Structure 1
Amino acid sequence: MAPQIILIDSLDDERLSAYTRLTERELRSVLEPEKGIFIAESAKVIERAVDAGLEPVSFLMGERWLDQLMPLLERVAEKWGDVPVFVASMELMEQLTGFTVTRGALAAFRRPLLAAAPDFLRGLIERAGDRPVRVCVLEGIVDHTNVGAIFRSAAALNVDGILVSPTCCDPLYRRAVRVSMGTVFQVPWCRIGTEARVWPHDGLRELHEAGFTCASMALEDDSVSLDDPALLEIPRLALFMGTEGAGLQAKTIDGSDLTIRIPMAHGVDSLNVAAASAVAFWQLCPHADNGYHYRPGMFA
């Protein structure tokens, strides 16, 4: 089946609302009330979303991208049928906000259904077999750039999965997806905790019930140094990373089994949360890139 190519001569076309007018909140709830949609920007990110099995709703691209993306569009048409591919002149695409980043290739996808945290953790443990399991819990991180960067580090450094607290921003927000370079489709993730008022007690309980040792990244007097060899012997480790500036809540630290600090020099007391996550992932996760974090078609 050939892709459904539709030439566009105006960004005012109602069929382009997802790309030109709707807010992130509206994308999540108005167009598709049950699941919502999200926008992927750039050819690489779009390709990773398709490879992960996510269902495209439509594409919007500048004319010079059509030939390059045609093999991908043909795969989409074969699997999902008549998904509209809107094609505009490069001059018209330049009118879109963020064009210099997207380079004129975008796609709208249906949001995947996320597993409940207990089922998610059970699946990670089953896939891991005899090897250690490493997950990261993001508490209240509100900067989409940081969330995207953490996902990219998690994909590169063999983190099994990411769990997102009720107060953490959406990993499928456009900027988070873009900064992650599409790795939000490669690293398994889910929400954990029911609502902010009972967090972190419900999240800690679910992790403990799944057999995880909960470790907070925090500067406490009794913190364990990140390079302590004993940390590598923990079979199931959940690493909590806190919000920008304030870090983790006191009740999260108190409810954890231990705290971990990164040894630092020159009087520096902390790192940006995205940088800290990369350092911690490198130290605590297997170095060999065996690809266990990436399952093509994981959302199919």
Structure 2
Amino acid sequence: MSQPRTVTDPADPRLADYTGLTDVELRRRREPAEGLFIAEGEKVIRRALAAGYLMRSMLLTPKWLTVMADVIAEADAPVHVVEPALAEQVTGYHVHRGALASMTRRPLPAAAELLVGARRVAVFEDIVDHANIGAAFRNAAALGVDAVLLTPRCADPFYRRSVKVSMGAVFQVPWTRLESWPGAVGTLHSAGFTVAALCLSEQAITLDELAARDDDRLALVFGTEGDGIARGTLAAVDEHVRIPMDAGVDSLNVAAASAVAFYATRPRNS
């Protein structure tokens, strides 16, 4: 059991993992390099621990000591107790949930490893918005997607906002970052996947048509709202797919589109 310790100095080196949490560029560079990520809120911390991630430390305001008592009792990592004003000074924002944990990342698996036994996978191409990534992971977890593949420029699913929006679903769905794209389309083909890109294209079939085929192994590719999927990707995939729209709307954002596509293409015999 770790004994909670009160910290009163915002410059205390024991709080280093939690400094500048609102500085996206700083955290994007620092967290993967140092092998850490931040879990925010009781539910997310518990889900990270349940998924087997190791805790480096925990930062709590006093009122959360009772709520997190069982976690503290089992923790080998230090537990730092700070007043809300100090937490805000250190992190850069009002920590209204009052509970943060610094967790240890695990090495990412190879894409080919994730594809073994998978039937439905999602590929996110250059999605840089952390909230969209978090929401898409929550959709993937809820709707039975077996794995998520991210292109090199995608946002970090373990960035604090992504984790928070996903409600910890980023810990449930196996994922990795591809080393090259669209070169990795070949990896998907080698594993027996039909690769379908959600896009606005004259040659696109409807999502209903794709779903009716019930492909045994299917990879769905999603791009950014602004630029859409890259031309090289569109040339490499097997199918272009569109979600039929009404009322003059031409597309959904990636979080909404992924939810619709995941549900429509779920394996029929599962």
TM-score (ref. length: structure 1): 0.83
1:178 Cα offset (Å): 1.2
What is aligned with 2:54? 55
**Corresponding position of 1:19:** 18
Summarize the Cα distance change of 1:45–1:9 in structure 2 as closer, same or farther, 3 Å threshold: same
RMSD after superposition: 1.9
Matched AA of 2:253: N
Q: Which residue of structure 1 aligns with residue 216 of structure 2?
A: 235
Off by >6 Å, runs of 4+ in structure 1:
none
Shift of 1:274: 1.0
Indicate the residue corresponding to 1:164 in structure 2.
150
Determine whether 1:89 maps to 2:83.
yes
Gaps of 5+ in 1: 291-300
- Which of 159, 177, 180 is residue 191 of structure 1 equivalent to? 177
The residue that corresponds to 2:205 in the other structure is: 224
What SS is found at the alignment partner of 1:63?
A: coil
For 1:254 and 1:153, how far apart are their aligned partners in 2? 27
Q: Matches of residues 166-181 of structure 1 in structure 2 within 5 Å?
A: 166-181=152-167
For 1:252 and 1:260, the matched residues in 2 are separated by: 13
1:69 offset after TM fit, Å? 0.8
After TM superposition, the structure 1 = structure 2 runs for residues 234-273 of structure 1, keeping only pairs within 5 Å, are 234-273=215-254
Residue 120 of structure 1 and its aligned partner are, at CA, apart by 1.5
Q: State the Cα distance separating 1:89 from its structure 2 match.
A: 2.3
Report what 1:99 is aligned to: 94
Q: Which runs of 5+ in 2 are unaligned?
A: none
Does the 8 Å contact 1:158/1:287 carry over to 2? no
Q: CA deviation at 1:98?
A: 3.3
| Secondary structure class of the residue paired with 1:4 | coil
After superposition, where does 1:109-188 map in structure 2 within 5 Å?
109-122=103-116, 125=117, 133-188=119-174
Note closer, same or farther for the CA distance 1:137–1:11 as it changes in structure 2 (3 Å cut).
same
Distance verdict in 2 for CA 1:256–1:10, change over 3 Å: same
CA distance in 1, matches of 2:20, 2:165: 22
Q: Are the counterparts in 2 of residues 94 and 104 from structure 1 also a CA contact under 8 Å? A: no
**1-structure distance, mates of 2:159, 2:229:** 23
Partner residue, 1:68: 67
Contact kept? 1:157, 1:287, Cα under 8 Å: no
Counterparts of 1:21 and 1:189, CA distance in 2: 27
Identity %: 48
Question: What's the CA shift for 1:17?
Answer: 1.1
One-letter amino acid of the counterpart of residue 169, structure 2: T
What is the TM-score of this pair, normalised by structure 2? 0.92
User: Quick check: 2:207–2:244 contact (8 Å CA) kept in 1?
Assistant: yes
| Cα offset, 1:231, TM superposition | 4.3
Closer, same or farther: CA 249–73 of 1 in aligned 2, 3 Å: same
Question: Secondary structure in 2 aligned to 1:99?
Answer: coil
Cα separation, 2, equivalents of 1:111 and 1:284: 31
Q: Deviations over 1:224-266 (max 9, x none)?
A: 1111265452000000000231110011111111111101101
